[in-house]
Structure 1
Amino acid sequence: MVTPTALEAELLEVAGAVPDPELPVLTLQELGVVRAVHVRGTDAVEVELTPTYTGCPAVEAMSLDIERALHEHGVREVTVRRVLTPAWSTDDITDEGRRKLREFGIAPPRVRQEAGPVTVALGPTRTPTTAEVDKADQIRCPHCGSADTELLSRFSSTACKALRRCLVCREPFDHFKEL
């Protein structure tokens, strides 16, 4: 991996500071979708952007917002290139991003303990309690912190979120699914 220049690192910060169009509480850096910025000539840059999934409808808005931010920073020519390898996963969300999701009322994705494919199991909609599973596997309510939650719908406001309800405080909440 090539170490970015000081200018590339600065421009990566500018591009990464753009808010996500679907989750404006997060920046694109916190979401982990802006991968790199490469200086291409005197006044041109190329930004590598990895969508959260191949058909993500927000990619166009992200690209335009990155272009606008870099133009405002003085870069004349900006190209945003979609990079699909390595694929984005919820492991790319920063700790700060996970904290912000929780504060915004969205349960962040669980941290995967092992690399590799995410297993999908269709089964009970209630999240097992602490006595039943490892603490890392629990989906906690972002409002009260309880692990006693249930799945209401496998899809919520976006395809990457599920709708859950806390059985303690009774509040519904989104859960950013693990990918």
Structure 2
Amino acid sequence: MLVKNGEFNSHFTVKTDKREEFLLFQNGNTISTRIAIAYSKNNNLKAEVEKINSIESFKKFELISYIGDNWIDTYFSKDKNFNIVKISNLNSVLAMINSNRKDIHITANDLGIKYIIKKNNLNNVFIKNINFVEASDIEFKFCLLKSYPNSKALMAEIEKNLTIAKNSGIIDKIISKYL
């Protein structure tokens, strides 16, 4: 939404048909992430959380997400009887998990979650990758607002440099450093 509204001109995100209406995406991908759940190590339901093996299993837990999380809307919408609370941002979501105020956050970006946990010293949050959700590997791509001046030429230059960074191992070094 921030890019669409012109508050940002670019960022890394998952390519969707809706986003392609106003964003220009790189051809390859920059980072692949995994679907994961975040929960408190102190959760009274920890044993049950660790046994989750289907989307239906999430119905008995209090889920928490943030406004604008399109992924959770797609797979865990209200019409499927999931108990989902949405708050303003991901940092607050993880702080609530850390303090054991909600049971689970489901994410399509395990790397981003790991970064926030490390950066904010959220030592009570545990991450577990899950494999039973459709599209368990997610590709994040660099995107640029289509209306940005010379967006196609700029994207070609960005793609060239991202390819160099990825092939030379720079992106992996950045990920290792911060995660």
- TM-score over 0.5 for the pair: no
TM-score by length of 2: 0.26
Is the strand fraction higher in 1 or 2?
A: 2
TM-score by length of 1: 0.26
Is the helix fraction higher in 1 or 2?
A: 2
- More contact order relative to length (CA 8 Å, sep ≥ 6): 2
